[in-house]
Structure 1
Amino acid sequence: MADLTLYIATGPSPLSSRFQEMLDMLLTGAAFGQPTALWLTDGCIASLALASHDDSLVNLADFGVRCLASEQALQAHPGLPLPVEPMDDDTLAALRAQAREIRVF
Structure 2
Amino acid sequence: MASHLYIATANAPLSDRFQEMLDMLMTGAAFGLPTALWLTNDCVSVLNALPANDSLLQLADFGVRCVVSDSATTGALQAEALNGDELRELRTGCQQVLVF
- Unpaired stretches in structure 2, ≥5 consecutive residues: none
Quick one: percent identity of the two aligned structures?
A: 54
1:11-30 Cα shifts (integer Å, max 9, x gaps) = 34211111011001011001
Segments of 4+ in structure 1 off by > 2 A? 77-80
Secondary structure of the equivalent of 1:72? Answer: coil
Partner of 2:98: 103
TM-score (norm 2): 0.93
For the aligned residue pairs, the C-alpha RMSD in angstroms reads 1.2
Number of aligned residues: 100
1:34-69 Cα shifts (integer Å, max 9, x gaps) = 100000000100011111122211100011101000
Equivalent positions of 1:39-78 (< 5 A) are 39-74=38-73, 77-78=74-75
- Unpaired stretches in structure 1, ≥5 consecutive residues: none
TM-score (norm 1): 0.89
For residue 71 of structure 1, report the CA deviation from its aligned partner.
1.1
In structure 1, what residue type is equivalent to 2:85?
A: D
Equivalent positions of 1:76-87 (< 5 A) are 77-80=74-77, 83-87=78-82
Secondary structure of the equivalent of 1:57? Answer: helix
